[in-house]
Structures are given as structure tokens and as C-alpha cells.
Structure 1
Amino acid sequence: MDAREAAAEAPMDDVAALMETLGRRARAAAEQLATVPTAAKDAALRAAAAAVRARAAEILEANAADMQAARAKDLPPAMLDRLRLDGGRVDAIARGLEEVAALPDPVGSVTEEWTRPNGLRIQRVRVPLGVIGIIYESRPNVTADAGGLCLKSGNAAILRGGSESFHSSRAILAALQDGLRAAGLPPDAVQAVPTRDRAAVGALLGLTGLVDVVIPRGGKSLTARVAAESRVPVIYHLDGICHVYVDRAADVEKARAVVMNSKMRRTGICGAAETLLVDRTVLDSHLRPILADLLEAGCEIRGDAAVQALDPRVRPAAEEDWETEYLDAILSVKAVDGVDAAVEHIQRHGSHHTDSIVTKDAATAERFLSRVDSGIVLWNASTQFADGGEFGFGAEIGISTGKLHARGPVGAAQLTSYKYVVRGDGQIRP
């Protein structure tokens, strides 16, 4: 057992010192990464992908231990699905790292440039954020996604995964650090908090001067704690209370496909639809077959009075259902009086994550897309496209629901800031 393994058993009194040590190591690594050539970062990512495949048996063994403990705790099916790895998911982790390696390097790219009348040449250039602390819950693949994206964008990462995925995440971390060593980069560029002690989260949130930004990816209790305690800037990934609105001008077959995929493809991800809104004038023609599809697929429906009247299997919706992220095969359904009422409902009850309209009417679609204030808005497409990989980002750390810095899928480019580079020829200000 090395020093970091031993630290997993560190008493609570030592957690603050442990986290400060991680922070100092990360800061030193970040200073190196800021100027590392693209080729070296990409080599590390490709080597990490190879290491994930080579360590697949170890990763699956670690995940089996996590799954056994999770079942013993009687965790809900959605959380078990997030936690579970198999051969296909492990290979997807490796492919994700390779896709990040193939992306353009955001660091050093010039996003704007101009010349002033006095001859000064000004450029706005992307630079790394520095050290990023990422706090997430039960999805072990986030370890690879977050570590890979931070590396690509020249940032050092301190990862604090959920206790449910402790062993899985450590096994994946070992592969990432294999890749860093193979490319001659510091393994401290991607570190994981080596203890399940919850005090480590509080210590991470207080590492001013060592950590530049924190990204929480989890439920309300996690984000509430981060909001209350963090002394470090935060990029929030809040609840995925996602909506699909079926307009009176919707193609019924498209609506059936979009709603079914939005809800049932994977119910435990943040892009899963939690509320369906349907124009009141097409309840019989459009909603009735959609309800039949969902109920046949095993989805519980909670509806208002108009929806309950269509099928006796629909349960009554309570007021809190409109603001619940089920992460399960449950969908709240409401009849609304047109697109404006749908938008009003989304603005009042949504989480500014992802919302979709199904309609053939372009003017109605544009009204929805312009008025819904969410990180992602879609027209005639499933909410489950709320994913960095589907946006061409290779992977994502999360879906930012805030308005400052990054919004929507947070990929490598979104993990950079910028500085202004000014080149002159002896100019002085009068």
C-alpha cells in the first residue's frame, strides 16, 4: 500500500492537510500542462485509452465490488444503471478518450483579433483555467471523461467521485495515470481524492489559491452544499428537469418517436425527459397513442385531469411532480393551451437544462427556441441528445445550467478562459 492508498484511511483530522497536498500537486502539474504541446497531451490520452483496455478486467472487477455494495444498500435501479460497467461501457470509455485526443486543442487558439488605429495588435487567446475540482456521484465513466477533458484543455484535475463508485473510479484513474506517465507528463495532472470521508468535499471547496474552479455534478443535496460552502468559483450542473412539448402542428409519428426516446432510452441520465406537455387540441389524436407506447414500455404516467381522462392507468399528478427529476421510468404529463403556455410552464418549473418542441410549424418552433431559457433547446429531436459526445465534444464533464462562463455541454473548449495578447512597436499612451 503506497502513501495515497494509506491516505484512504486517513483520520478526519488529516483530511484538510491531505486535500491541501493534492491541491499543491495539482497546481504544480497545471503549471507544466499550460504549455505542453498538443502532441504530448494527445499521446497521453491515446495511451490512457490503451491502458483502459489493458486494465479492463481490473476495472470490471472493481466495478463488481461497487455493484455488490450498492445492491446491499438497496440503491434505486437508475443509480445502479449509472454505476454499472460492462465490456461495452469500458470500451466506450476508451473510445471517449481517443475522441478527445482527436479534437482540436483549444489552448492557444485565437478567438478574436484586431488592430487599433495606433498600431497595437490585440488577440484574445484561449488559456487553461488551471486546477479544476470535479465532484460527482455514481457514474464511474465521469472519471475518464473529466480527466481526459481537463488534460486536453491543459488543466489539472482533482476528482471526487461518489462513494458508490470508489473502486471503479480508482481503477479508471490508474489507467489515466498510466497514460500520463507514458507520455512523460506528471501523473498529478489527474488525481482523485483518496478517501470517502465527506469532510474532503468541504476541504476541496475551501482550497482558494490552489483550485481555480469547482464543478459539481449530482443531485440537489450536492449542489446545495457546494453553493453554500464553496469559496472557489463554481460551474453548476443542476437537475435535469427536461421537457418535451408536443405542439398542435406536430407530426404524430415523430412525436411518438421523440417522446419515447426522450423518456425511455435511458431513464437515469440527466437528459431524460421528466415532463411531457401536449397542446390541449391534440390530446386524442397525439397524446393517446403516446400514452399507449409509454405504458406498454413500463413507464408510469402521472397526469393532470385531462390526461387522466384518456387512460384509467394514468395516476394523478401532484404539484411537486412538475419539479421532480425522477431518473426512473416515470413521466409527468400535462395538457397546455398552446406554445406560450408550454413555455410558461417550462420557465416556472424547469431547471434550464434541456427542452424540446415537436412541431411542423417553423414559426412556432422558433418562438419556443427563442423564449425557452435553457442551456439546450431542440426542435423535433430527443432530449437525450443533451450530451457532449453527441455535440461533437468527444465527452463532457456535465451540462452547465448557469449563465456565467460555460453553458450547456462542458467540453474541452469550455474548460478554458482567455487572455488578451497585445503586440506593439513602442507605442505609449498619450
Structure 2
Amino acid sequence: MSGIYIHIPFCKQACHYCDFHFSTSMKKKEEMVLAIAKEIQMRKSEFKNEIVETIYFGGGTPSVLTSAEINFLIAEVYKYYSVSDNPEITLEANPDDLSSERIIELSKSKINRLSIGIQSFFEDDLQLMNRAHNSAEARKCLEVATQYFDNISLDLIYGIPDSSQNGEQAQQMSNEKWKQNIETALSFGIPHISSYALTVEPKTALNKLIQTGKIAAPKDDVAQEHFAILIEMLEANDFIHYELSNFGKENYFSKNNSAYWLGKKYIGIGPSAHSYDGVSRSWNVSNNALYLKSIQEGKIPNEIEILSVMDRYNEYVMTGLRTIWGVSLDKIESEFGSGYLEYLNNQSRKFLDDDLLFIENGILKPTKKGKFLTDGIASDLFILN
């Protein structure tokens, strides 16, 4: 199983928390679509023996593309790659782009999965995050989308400071408010939810607002409470917590994301997109102008890193602990050697003793208590030199 990720580097406006690569100027959008199509063609030899089972439009905000542009790029993938009979084709979209007419248009295309950036159903949260949509648009797009798409995921963010105190030391989002967000999402019958703690990245507007005292900093203990509430409520509604931030009903796991976590090959197309072929990782330049210039000259504007055994071990531990598939001790020994297994056993002992990790049928996994701490635990299991 292989996948193609297409990065659309445009947004209508910058969300305060986002540090992904994008531009709010749409002047080069048509030129970018043609360049992305050219990169799709230029890289066909990388997948000459592969069957593409997922196509994923990420960003940025891919829903700023017209339906014709989306259909054109999908057609280019079909033209140059072997695509499975029933691929998962996902479009990330924002509610303000999903009018009833647009949803109907998309339902007639090859797009068969929508990933909708709701983030919150509360107006004050959306304003604090500088989202382009409002609460009414969030609800309306879900009402219509569920009539035309069976496979829908939505994003929610927890641990958001309450901005209603206008610059005073604000409270954090209450547990009750967070429960209302989850209940509203569940009321639409959505089969997949991705949920993340609000994270403060260095070069973002959110970081500046916190430093100047206009917004309170998110608190880890509040986020941890929200995470526990999220797990409890979603599991009670038949969702499977298959990855740290992802919950899906049976047969509705994201095939694109699952392939990434399970170490499958993928090609990333567009500015800043990453690719992985099992032994190396590459990433395109995070600059729209340089990307366009390079593609027009017939060059792939990327850097390549050959992954060492240590790199691959660290990556497997990181992704494995985040998922229900865990870290196979047999795989550690067979792929990386007995020295790596011995190191992992030694490093994980303290987390086993503290009931943060457990071993079941030769698989190392986080306990319920350890799930929120997964990334920190994984870093302690890495080999750094």
C-alpha cells in the first residue's frame, strides 16, 4: 500500500496557532496547481512498482481550490500512477468553503472522504484561534455533508484558554464546555474524529498573544483532563482510539494516516511536503516562489536524508507507541538487532513499573494513564547517538 499526499499551500487567513507552510495570497494559485501537476508527473518513476491506495489533499486549506482544480490533480495522479480500484481520496476542508452547492459538487468527484477543520463549535474559541468560519457555518456544513458523504472526519482542539475576559488572566476551557463540543460532534453521526491539544509553536500569533498577556497560556493539567474526557466519551460511543489523536468507528480509520504510522511508502507533492520510501525521507522546499521556479526548471526542490538503523528504530518506537498496534518486541529484534531490544527493555522498565507502559503478547503499549504522555515516553526510549 502506497499513498500520495498533495500539499496545497494557501489559506484565506492565518490561524493563530498554525505553523504549517502556507500563503494567504492566492495570486499564484493557478500557477501552483500546474506546478503540482508537473511534480506528480516528474515523480512517477518512484512508484512504478507501487499501487496507490490513498490520495490526500492537505495544507494549508485544500478547499480553497475549485472543484475543477481538484479534479484535474486527481486525474493527473490516475494518468501517471497505478491506482487501486477503491482508493481513499481525502480532502481537508474548512466549513466556510463547504456551502451546500460545493458539497454537492465534491460528492460528484472522486473525493470520497472529507476531513473538516471544525476545531470548536463555540464562537469565542473560533475568534481566539482566528478561524475563518463561525459556529453556524460549522454546524450547517456538517448537516449537509453528512447527507452526501459517508466517510467524514472532523477536527477538534482542546485545552483552549477562555478569551472572554478581554485581556485579563483568562480561565481555561471548562470541562463542561469541552463535553458540549464532543456531544455536538457526536450529534452529527460522524464516524471519525481527530482531536489535538492546543499547542503553542514559537513563530505563531498565538505565542505572541500569550507573551504580551492578551491570552492565557494553555495548561497541561487542563489538557490532560480534556484528553481523558475525550477518550471516555468517544469510546462510550463505539469509537476506537487507534492513534493518540485519532478516533474512528470500525472500518473508518484513516487509511492515509494509518499507512504513515505503519511505515508504508508515500510521496509528498507540493511545497514543504515530505516523502518516505522505507529507507530515506525527503522534503520539498517550504517556499512557494522557490518551489515554482524549481519545478519550472524541471528540478525537484527537495532535500533527502538516508535513514540510519538508529533513525528507523526511533521512528518506529515513536509511531508505534502512538497507535493501537504498539511496538513489537519481535520486530525490534529482527529488524534492528538484539542490542536495540536490550536497550528498549532497559529504558522501558521504569515506565512499566510506573504503570505507564505494559506488554501484551510481545507488544509494548501505553496504558490508559500513559497515553497522554506518549510522546515524552517515546523520547526516553530513543537512541540518540
* Fold conserved between structures, TM > 0.5: no
Which structure is higher in RCO with an 8 Å CA cutoff and minimum separation 6?
1
- Using the size of structure 1 for normalisation, the TM-score is 0.28
TM-score after normalising by structure 2: 0.31
The structure whose Rg is larger is 1
